[in-house]
Structure 1
């Protein structure tokens, strides 16, 4: 099944590029990739001195040197010749805007970015792309071993929007013969004491209510027998709670979605996704977005 035929991979001319290329190769067949763009965006295309020393044979300047260097890496890691590739080295004062513009120009289905754990880098570009890209985004972590996921966690809130994300998660799990782990956070309302019940008693009421909502929700999907992990959110950071639960269950990928409900807001993620992006730099994430949601924003971006 072809999920994403055109993919764009962000390159930053560090060791992370090697990691990202190797990890991307693992996903190519499953994702159904037919063309892969490798994009480097820099405020200045002049190469750093350490790059020049490492690749003395690359005597061209600027974008030609960068393109040749990335091409050399693709050859080194035996990037499949069955997948068409194109390398783009672009200069721009605002790397995020430039990256997003190229994603729109190439009409890509998926952007793949790296998340660093020990390597230098703020991760600001990857985070910005995850939040604002006009398509789905996959974040692949530096230290995580290569391989397709076998345990996939999908935060579930039973909303109409979440049906789309859940169906997408089911398709991926079926394709990979992987387990899907829905998780839902429930809360106790502040006014619970007015009911005459204790916090613990009302917590159980809210949990049972969530269980009933999940039964109705999952009945509309292909795996109605799936169980959901219900977690009480008593004010902690949801991103950190999700990561903690994922480690407990030995999860190896998150799938989430954007929550844009209008064309102007579609580029933004829901608060849970943003908090997980901020908290998680150890597990891969696939943020699913419907292409075309952000077109109004990107038409404006082209006019900047």
Structure 2
């Protein structure tokens, strides 16, 4: 799994910025980041002509004024607690394209974004960035707590194993963090051929899931980390909602999920479960884990950079 050394934090001068600052400060103090890039994107840096004509001395150039505002927020929210080199960039253009462009240029390992409520309408931008991002993305909600319990959905794919590795590395450097490995199983449609009842076959599937989780855990060095396992029967088909309900029940403070894909193009596209999870009106931070080197070449071709 890629080590997290360089991070982009997208800021928009809203109240959400404070939560993002607290998150990246916690991250920096725990894993010693090399550099943080605070990125603000405006579709245009020019003020409307009528405004500039009427108030020619009203403000400094928009990028400079915005940088000053971001710096003030950093100083006010975290001050000296953010003990890492950082840079503030104000870019002009399409937000998705600019975030992806700077992620590539700065060779970042993680993009940190705010996750506002559905009513505030930032879901489309967030989904686009995560689908195309060359690296992992952390979505921090409007209410943010210290990370204590990480839920990792495990379906035994390489993507879910990568997410588990991410959670393990996180728990190694941050004290008192536990991991809950969650497998959602279902009963296949043709179970009646076996002569078993639904309940009987569900028990078979559950035991198989528990054994598979135990075998998986044996492959990783987790000494000193509290690892819990949960297996849950899914009857209604919406696995994403099931993950969220279990995460709430487990008092999860973060969900770490892998994005699936076996080809360069597919690696940039979220698995359907991960994407549906992002559509749940959640209050839990979600980290979508990707392996940077597998996603970069396709992004370069896509953006032509």
TM (norm. structure 1) is 0.87
Q: Is the 8 A contact 2:25 2:82 kept in 1?
A: no
What is the DSSP-based 3-state SS (H/G/I as helix, E as strand, rest coil) of the residue aligned with 1:266? helix
Give 1:93-132 correspondences, 5 Å limit. 94-117=94-117, 120-132=120-132
Partner of 1:54: none
Aligned in 2, Cα 1:123/1:13: closer, same or farther, shift over 3 Å? farther
Partner of 2:288: 287
Aligned in 2, Cα 1:262/1:118: closer, same or farther, shift over 3 Å? closer
- Per the TM alignment, residue 190 of structure 1 is displaced from its structure 2 partner at its CA by 0.7
- Per the TM alignment, residue 250 of structure 1 is displaced from its structure 2 partner at its CA by 0.9
- Per the TM alignment, residue 119 of structure 1 is displaced from its structure 2 partner at its CA by 7.6
Aligned in 2, Cα 1:10/1:295: closer, same or farther, shift over 3 Å? same
| Aligned equivalents of 2:228, 2:28: Cα separation in 1 | 30
Deviations 1:68-108 (A, max 9, x none): 2112212222154641221111111x321221111101111
Partner of 1:245: 246
Q: Is the 8 A contact 1:3 1:32 kept in 2?
A: no
What is the DSSP-based 3-state SS (H/G/I as helix, E as strand, rest coil) of the residue aligned with 1:293? helix
- Per the TM alignment, residue 46 of structure 1 is displaced from its structure 2 partner at its CA by 4.3
Q: Can you give the 5+ residue segments of structure 2 that lack an aligned partner in the other structure?
A: 49-56
Q: Can you give the 5+ residue segments of structure 1 that lack an aligned partner in the other structure?
A: 49-56
Give 1:234-273 correspondences, 5 Å limit. 234-273=235-274
- Per the TM alignment, residue 174 of structure 1 is displaced from its structure 2 partner at its CA by 2.6
Aligned in 2, Cα 1:29/1:105: closer, same or farther, shift over 3 Å? same
Deviations 1:210-235 (A, max 9, x none): 12222222221124994421111113
| Aligned equivalents of 1:119, 1:8: Cα separation in 2 | 25
Aligned in 2, Cα 1:31/1:175: closer, same or farther, shift over 3 Å? closer
| Aligned equivalents of 2:46, 2:68: Cα separation in 1 | 14
Partner of 2:142: 142
Deviations 1:183-210 (A, max 9, x none): 0011111111222221111111111121
| Aligned equivalents of 2:169, 2:242: Cα separation in 1 | 26
Which has the higher mean CA deviation after the structures are superposed, 182-191 or 156-165?
Answer: 156-165
Deviations 1:101-124 (A, max 9, x none): 111011111110011138834332
Count of aligned positions: 293
TM (norm. structure 2) is 0.87
Aligned in 2, Cα 1:298/1:58: closer, same or farther, shift over 3 Å? farther
| Aligned equivalents of 2:29, 2:128: Cα separation in 1 | 27
Deviations 1:24-68 (A, max 9, x none): 2222212322211111112123469xxxxxxxx982122222112
Give 1:176-215 correspondences, 5 Å limit. 176=174, 177-215=176-214
